[in-house]
Amino acid sequence: AQKITQTQPGMFVQEKEAVTLDCTYDTSDPSYGLFWYKQPSSGEMIFLIYQGSYDQQNATEGRYSLNFQKARKSANLVISASQLGDSAMYFCAMTPPPGGSEKLVFGKGTKLTVNP
């Protein structure tokens, strides 16, 4: 069974600084997808970034980058130049190999607070 672990219940960062949110995963499948979502207090889950298990390079999307270390089974999210609007819950998630239902397995999330 797949499992996602996010060990940081809460993180604080100063505006304009970078922050790393940790995510480790467990799976026996060689093929999988890793996602990060942001959930503001409004509730909507906002897709941030995706990393495939066979992708050779770390994914980047604007201020977001994913530090993918396959051997260590970690997929940490790095947010550069934090903004006040980045304050939210952040969830790491994974999907099984393609070929059927691709339900997302989520971690428990990390609450990020950006201080002015």
Partner 1 sequence: KAGVTQTPRYLIKTRGQQVTLSCSPISGHRSVSWYQQTPGQGLQFLFEYFSETQRNKGNFPGRFSGRQFSNSRSEMNVSTLELGDSALYLCASRRQGTSGVSTDTQYFGPGTRLTVL
- d(C-alpha 24, C-alpha 6), whole Å: 7
Q: Which is nearer to partner 1, 19 or 34 (CB)?
A: 34
Task: Give the binding site for partner 1 (CB under 8 A).
Answer: 32-33, 35, 37, 42-47, 50, 52, 91, 93, 95, 98-109
Q: Note whether 23 and 107 are within 8 A (CB).
A: yes
Of the candidates 63, 1, 44, 51, the one whose C-alpha atom is nearest the C-alpha of residue 23 is: 51
Q: Which is nearer to partner 1, 13 or 37 (CB)?
A: 37
- d(C-alpha 1, C-alpha 80), whole Å: 33
Q: Which is nearer to partner 1, 25 or 32 (CB)?
A: 32
As measured in angstroms, the least distance from the Cβ of 17 to partner 1 is 28
Q: Which is nearer to partner 1, 85 or 100 (CB)?
A: 100
- d(C-alpha 103, C-alpha 24), whole Å: 18
As measured in angstroms, the least distance from the Cβ of 96 to partner 1 is 9
As measured in angstroms, the least distance from the Cβ of 75 to partner 1 is 14
- d(C-alpha 115, C-alpha 85), whole Å: 10
